[in-house]
Structure 1
Amino acid sequence: MTATLMESGAVVERADVARPTFAAVLRAEWVKLRTVRSTWWTLVATFVLGAGLTTLICWGNADWLASPEADESPGSFITWGMMIAQITAVVLGALVVTTEYGTGMIRTTFAAVPARGRVLAAKSLLVVALLGVVGTVTAFVGYAGGNYFLDREGIGMSMSGDVLRSMYGSGLYLAGIGLFTIAVGFLLRHTAGTISIVLALMLILGNMVNLIPGAFGEWVTKLMPGNAGSPISTPVSFNPNLFDAWTGFAVFCLEIAVLLVAAYVVVKRRDA
């Protein structure tokens, strides 16, 4: 196929330049992602915080959890570190997008890939895969370390039922957080703003809305992204008034989908 151009009054024909396939875009995004040190530092931090803090918190609370005075379940602690590890998942999701906007490289990316939706999809797929795998592995290692101390007190938890679900649920939740942050990153195009807003939604506003009285306050609390998504990553939630694990995660996925659609529309229409 050829395209006709007018150049100095003459008609010039050239072959159309083929647009990169999604596989090519995915490879290019993977090269960018794996060659940046911040990617690996955030993944290491995710593992250390998630597994390390779970082990530490179980070690420090095993005696109390085994005592008659305990008013919490050991299941609330067996993935405790993942609550902190979500911070690094937010950082990774933000950096994957906003670093290119900060350096201006996003213009080069969009010039090479006119179908901008492919860039959004490729970045999203890679972050979901990385955080899903790292989150799941981290949860299993944290369980092994934390359950060792719980088991010494006779309150160990078997790897079945809700405990097993929380292991791969931790990977799903971190992957969802990364995807949520990518969408916000494309909307804001600013690293600090993206990280601040997502962390505020996940960790601060989700708790503050508990102060809203009545049934309206209860529903707002349930619908906050962190409150909706986090029950999938723990056998027993600290807040029994939230959605159950799979219902909450479905709500979280719907919220992510809305943000991704908004990000896609903005990326298609707005100049880089």
Structure 2
Amino acid sequence: MTRTAPAHAHAPAHAPSVASATSAAGPPARFGDLLAAEWIKMRSLRSTWWTIALTALFVIGCATVASLADHGGTSGFLPFDAFTPGAYMTLMLVSGSVGAVTIVSEHGSGLIRTTMVAVPARHAVVLAKAVVLAAVWTTVGTVISLAAFLASQAVLDGRHAGVPLTHPGVARALVASALLAPACALVGLGLGALIRHTPGSVAATLFTLVMLPPLFSTSRQWSADVNHVMVVSAWKRLVQNWGDLPDINRVHDATVPGSWAVYAVWPLVAVALAVVVVRRRDV
């Protein structure tokens, strides 16, 4: 008499059950994990840190040289020696270009496909990139602006022309200069997500941040209004102590609250653009 084997005995030994398949699948990536991944990506690129270091030395060096060349010292208002436009425009270009390359490089190497497969929530990936980018460049901008100011004042103090940190307008200028780099980096991120081509993204960042504002003069109201919504124009307004300047220099000048609003709107719009583009486009 033969015995009938149980039905489950004929099932292949290697066939996974539903429970085992479920347990094999890992938990969804948390936002903290995405932040750590983006930080590792940035930290592993030596070229980024060399670029940051050289840019910092350049900005601080420009502030020192400008102070050495300023034989007259202050002119009744907060001097531009610590906040030379040429040096900070270079900082804008570098931070904006790094922001663009942060996302464009992954498209070029194809790594973005792996990232999106591992993390289907594309908006979370973009937001993680934005947070890491903003944190790094805020730190860099703070160090650069403070070091440039202290270096310039060390020179001017020898001529009894320096100003302390408590001088009216200094704190605002330092904060504006510190936040200039992250604002530009996020603008570059948005343009990089939109264009997805390294030369094109860098060129668009250069044009938007530096070349476009001078096209609109402040001699007429409508042109001045356009000029004032540019990041570099907002920075120039925030580092100036207009209260000590004659009224003749206040033709169609921007307001301080409006300039701070420019600092907030540009990065927010750029990150929102990057999120929308990444979610709707194929990688």
By the TM > 0.5 criterion, same fold? Answer: yes
2:184 touches 2:209 (CA, 8 Å); kept in 1? no
1:158 maps to 164
Match of 1:118 among 109, 114, 124: 124
2:265 maps to 254
Between the aligned partners of 2:253 and 2:111, the Cα distance in structure 1 is 42
Structure with a larger share of its residues in strand: 1
Give aligned-pair identity as a percent: 27
Aligned to 1:63, the other structure's residue is in SS state coil
Q: Does 1:78 align with 2:79?
A: no
| RMSD (CA atoms) | 2.5
Between the aligned partners of 2:263 and 2:187, the Cα distance in structure 1 is 9
What is the TM-score of this pair, normalised by structure 2?
0.81
Q: 1:193 to 1:55 in 2, by over 3 A?
A: same
Between the aligned partners of 1:76 and 1:107, the Cα distance in structure 2 is 46
2:276 maps to 265
Aligned to 1:79, the other structure's residue is in SS state coil
1:201 touches 1:226 (CA, 8 Å); kept in 2? no
Q: Report how far residue 30 of structure 1 moved.
A: 0.8
2:141 touches 2:177 (CA, 8 Å); kept in 1? yes
Match of 1:210 among 207, 217, 236: 217
1:75 touches 1:163 (CA, 8 Å); kept in 2? no
Aligned to 1:114, the other structure's residue is in SS state coil
What is the TM-score of this pair, normalised by structure 1?
0.85
Mean Cα displacement is larger for which, 26-35 or 142-151? 142-151
Q: 1:170 to 1:40 in 2, by over 3 A?
A: same
Query: How is 1:63-212 mapped onto 2 (pairs within 5 angstroms)?
Result: 63-65=71-73, 73-80=77-84, 81-160=87-166, 161-210=168-217
1:58 touches 1:77 (CA, 8 Å); kept in 2? yes
Equivalent residues, number: 256
Q: Report how far residue 95 of structure 1 moved.
A: 1.9
Q: Report how far residue 118 of structure 1 moved.
A: 1.2
Ranges in structure 1 where 5+ consecutive residues have no aligned partner: 1-9
Q: 1:63 to 1:120 in 2, by over 3 A?
A: same
1:221 maps to 227
Q: Report how far residue 152 of structure 1 moved.
A: 2.7
2:189 touches 2:270 (CA, 8 Å); kept in 1? no
Q: Report how far residue 23 of structure 1 moved.
A: 0.7
Q: Report how far residue 230 of structure 1 moved.
A: 4.5
1:93 touches 1:182 (CA, 8 Å); kept in 2? yes
